[in-house]
Structure 1
Amino acid sequence: MTGPLTGPGLDGLPGVTDWQLLPGDPRDTLLVAGGPPAARGDAAPGPDAVRAEADGDAAVLGTDLAALPAAMRRLDETAMLTMARVLDRTRLFRDGGRATTEEVLAALAAAPRHAWIVRRWLRTLAAENRLTTDPATGRHHALRVPDRRDHARALRELDGACRDLGYPPAMTRFFRAAAERLPLLLRDGASLQEVLFPDGGTDTARGNYRDSAPSRWANHAAASLVAGEARRRAADRPLRVLEAGAGVGGTTGTVLEALGDTPVDYLFTDVSPFFLRTARDAFGGHPGLRPALFDIQADPLAQGFEAGSQDVVLAANVLHNARHTGRCLAALRELLAPGGLLVVIESCEEHYQALTSMYLLMSPAADERGWFTDLRQGQDRVFLTAGEWTRQLDAAGFDPLPVLPPDGHPLAGAAGQRVIAGRVRPHDGRPDPARVRAALAGRLPAGAPLPRVHAVDHIIRTDTPTGATR
């Protein structure tokens, strides 16, 4: 725990029966909970969820969904060959060599922020019987290395796998370019942004987030849920939508199309001005769309957004970046009006291909003091499972809706892209953050910074030293 607050100093806060203090920069965050809600909402599929699944299926008509698992496996196999080739170049594993993880990191000259990726490589190759790890010594040996021709053949065969998944040719070029530059990327001698956005263009990234079969399904299902919310809401004012981390607009266009001529006040937000300029070019003529800067890591109210000001918050492929999922979800819930809807698109299965490409975008910044402080801390992973997302939504004060596509659907496990939604749960026993902040102000030394305060329905415990919990 940082700052002047201590456990005893947090006792007796108004309406608070449980709390968790999360260290942060520049301010700590205090999550507070009161009594449990009277009842949880029913997560059975309603008509909007049924329609969303049908709309997702319609978006991928003509795609051989049965071929997707094999296509994903070909991408993963190519990624593992790439990992093995890069590790072999260190010469640590030749002639019976045995190396520790730290020796591998040193030989690769990997930037400290990317060390987690290399650790994942070693665990992945061991799990796939392409590397042996001695549990007693922690040393790795017996690396199975493909010859140059096998690796080159696998890279050529990426075209077919990407076509089966619905990726445009630009994504194949991206995967190849990332593989070729991987040693340099690990050292931070080059930036993956330069590969993903060549010459400042967004076609490659848009192909990843819009054009693939899993993305098309998820985007259309999410758009269907947003359109369903428009039908639920009164027609006397525009539907208020905030899209967080909208990026290249891979989901935005599908949502706007689904809304049709529905009057909308649509906030297209991102942490980067680069994407706001892209939004003006792509969607600037759409009535009601406004670009705005928004950082999901920071307090929305401190960024000028009003509590209860949105009917829908949409977040496609961005919330995995939240350093603490519970804090982020609680903050987004405060933006929503009573009964408001949160719609999230997230990858809930991790694929090896990302370990040689997109994961390099997800490492902590070089100057960042910490990384994940929630259940992912110390696990070298980015994505939550669908079940973990549902529990996080429930704890933050949402009634979770059924995850889409449902288990058993051909796309549920093939690519792992899921639509996770929740509706703001009414709960009179939730502590009032303003009252809690006022009480804290009287307990802290003069000039001491007040923490962010977010109310949740219950605290999710983790076995980590990062957050002090009651």
Structure 2
Amino acid sequence: MTSAPLAEALSTLPEVGAWQVVPGSTGDTLLVAGPADGAVDDAVHAEDEKAVAAAAASGDAAVTGTDLTELPPLMRLLDETALLTMARVLDRTRLFRTHAGRTAADVVTALGTAPRHAWIVRRWLRTLTAEGRLGHDPATGHYRELTAPDRAEYARARRTLDEARDGMGYPESMTRFFLAAADRLPLLLQDRTSLHEVLFPQGETDTAEGNYRDSAQSRWANHAAAELIAHEARRREGGGRPLRVLEAGAGVGGTTEAVLSALGSTPVDYLFTDVSRFFLQAARARFGTQPGLRRALFDINADPVAQGLTPASHDVILAANVLHNARHVGRALAALRELLAPDGLLVLVESCREHYQALTSMYLLMSPHPDEERWFTDLRAGQDRVFLTEAEWAGQLDAAGFRPLPVLPPAGHPLTDLGQHVVAGRPRPGHGRPDPDRVARALAQLPGATRPVRVHAVDRVPSITTSGATS
């Protein structure tokens, strides 16, 4: 909540034109922006136009031999199976075997859903309604008349998983993962078992690697992102130092592998980071002999400087399939911008479309932690969703002071509908951005309960859909 002392202190700083308090489990973050000024020229530079074109060509080359027009129908097969799985799990509660209307809360309770996973059940209800498989009365909020598959129909649908999985380039282990997750869904929703145990059986990472590396859409995105970074390395040749790369949330290293391959013999100082030691240990085994590669823990939801990272210390920051986990995307982007050199490059790989199969599997990894009081506090607040659209990413980059590059794959590309995109940007020159240290010093005398623990400067305070501390 906004405090009067904080508002009063900020009002004495003419360089602060707008601000927003972002709550966090370890303390509040203050985002500050300068007074509004003229329009910023965000035209893509000629060199970046070449890089984007080369990245798209590299993505296409990575899926040579794959009929990309077949992929959307195959994805629909996966989604159809997931819809039947949702309906079958809901039908087993017996709530919809009468004509009585049921609320989302009724369904969450009947399933014994852990509070942190309740959003997933609400997404199921909305999805089944949108697909015409569940009735909904907007006036009362009641759901009724569920269309559920019988045992034979469900068995046939499960048999199509292998066809769809193989056609999309996933390994065989993905079929086992989808089926195992579907069979355990009631227990997973109740937190009586963990999806980690299903995704990483005996600590193996093959299934996760297949998801983030082997599918056609992942291959395309990883190689396009890798070419953007390789192009940046070529642009900086002769600078007298290695290319300084920070990869945030590197996970199983699916994108890392493509980037290191694209960089070839380019000297690098590559910091591979993740919030989990499990992935750092896996990276040690996988990339242990790679020259210039270091490993470290890094949490995108915490202050990077407090974690030992230095402002303006990286030429490239890469975050593949991780930044949607930021509790406040604007805050996370502002923090990453402070770590990036003034002429550096930010490269994101992000899913910008919801797939139903994820609603019965991977989404369980994206629920808030059991001890989290809040989940997303940005534009997704209260919406029961994880992913941002391409336009939303561009807006968030712009608000955090980046000049967005064209999103890849380009409009009209056969892979666009699958939703996996490369989103990149460069820092814009500052336009009256406040000095975070000066702001922090001005707030130093405030009572501890009203004083933010960190301050980030942005070009524009990002908008949110719920009431926020914005001035």
TM norm structure 1: 0.97
Separation in structure 1 between the aligned mates of residue 3 and residue 112 of structure 2, nearest angstrom: 35
Contact 1:51–1:224 under 8 Å retained in 2: yes
What is the aligned partner in structure 1 of residue 281 from structure 2?
Answer: 277
Q: Secondary structure at the match of 1:46?
A: helix
Q: Which amino acid aligns with 1:308?
A: A
Aligned residues: 467
Aligned pairs for 1:29-108 (under 5 A) are 29-35=29-35, 36=37, 39-43=40-44, 46-108=49-111
Q: Aligned residue for 2:464? A: 462
What runs of 5+ residues in structure 2 fail to find an aligned partner?
none
The match for 2:117 among 108, 114, 119 is: 114
Q: Tell me, in whole angstroms, the C-alpha distance in 2 between the residues paired with 1:182 and 1:3.
A: 44
**What is the distance in 2 between the residues matched to 1:122 and 1:447?**
40
Q: Distance in 1 between matches of 2:452 and 2:29?
A: 9
Matched, 1:241 2:242: no
In structure 2, what is the equivalent of residue 371 of structure 1? 375
Deviation at 1:209, TM superposition (A): 0.2
Q: Judge conservation of contact 2:333–2:400 (CA < 8 Å) in 1.
A: yes
**Cα distance change, pair 446–100 in 1 and its aligned pair in 2 (3 A):** closer
Identify the residue that residue 363 of structure 2 maps to in structure 1: 359
One-letter identity of the residue aligned with 2:11: D
Distance across 1 between alignment mates of 2:16 and 2:9? 13
Q: Is contact 2:378–2:465 with CA below 8 Å preserved after alignment?
A: no
Q: Structure 1 pair 195/463, CA: closer, same or farther in 2 (3 Å)?
A: same
Contact 1:14 / 1:436 at 8 angstroms: preserved in 2? no
**Aligned-pair CA distance for 1:134:** 1.3
Q: Deviations over 1:225-261 (max 9, x none)?
A: 0001101114311000000000000100110000000
Counterparts of 2:249 and 2:49, CA distance in 1? 28
CA contact (8 A) 1:14 1:439 kept: no
SS of 1:40's equivalent in the other structure is coil
Alignment of 1:161-172 (within 5 A): 161-172=164-175
Call closer, same or farther: CA 1:3–1:367 in 2, change over 3 Å: farther
What does residue 187 of structure 2 align with? 184
Q: Does 1:226 align with 2:229?
A: yes
The DSSP-based 3-state class of the residue aligned with 1:240 is strand
CA change 1:27–1:73 in 2 (3 A) is same
Matched with 1:452 is: 454
Q: Secondary structure at the match of 2:316?
A: strand
Letter in 2 for 1:463: T
- Identify the residue that residue 24 of structure 2 maps to in structure 1: 24
Maintained 8 Å contact 2:31/2:331 = yes
Residues 37 and 457 in structure 1, CA contact (< 8 A), matched pair in contact too: no
Contact 1:433 1:453 in 2 (8 A): yes
Which residue of structure 2 aligns with residue 9 of structure 1? 9
Which residue, out of 407, 430, 433, partners 2:433? Answer: 430
Q: Which amino acid aligns with 1:147?
A: D
Instruction: Name the CA shift for 1:156/1:422 in 2 (closer, same or farther; >3 Å).
Output: same
Rounded Cα–Cα distance in structure 2 between residues aligned with 1:57 and 1:446? 54
Q: 1:352 and 1:247 mapped to 2: Cα distance?
A: 23
Distance 1:11 1:164 in 2: 59
Residues 5/407 of structure 1: CA separation in 2 closer, same or farther (3 Å cut): farther
User: Aligned pair 1:152/2:150, yes or no?
Assistant: no
Counterparts of 2:360 and 2:38 in 1: how far apart (Å)? 44
d(CA) in 2 for partners of 1:192 and 1:25? 24
User: What's the RMSD between the two structures over aligned residues?
Assistant: 1.5
- 3-state SS, counterpart of residue 312 of structure 1: strand
CA distance in 2, matches of 1:348, 1:137: 31
SS in structure 1 at match of 2:370:
coil
> Would the aligned equivalents of 1:37 and 1:429 in 2 still touch at CA under 8 Å?
no
Counterpart CA distance in 2 for 1:392 and 1:110 is 33
Identity among equivalent positions (%) equals 67
Alignment partner of 1:314 out of 314, 318, 327: 318
Residue 331 of structure 2 contacts residue 456 of structure 2 at CA under 8 Å; is this kept in 1?
Answer: yes
Length-normalised TM-score, structure 2? 0.97
| Distance verdict in 2 for CA 1:239–1:97, change over 3 Å | same
Match of 1:281, SS?
helix
Distance in structure 2 (CA, Å) of the matches to 1:4 and 1:200: 51
Paired residues of 2:213 and 2:219 also in contact (CA < 8 A)? yes
**Is 2:305 the partner of 1:301?**
yes
SS at match of 1:251: helix
Aligned to 1:343, what secondary structure does the other structure show?
strand
1:363 maps to amino acid: S
Cα gap change, 1:84/1:294 in structure 2, threshold over 3 Å: closer, same or farther? same
Pick closer, same or farther for the CA change 1:102–1:48 going to 2, 3 Å.
same
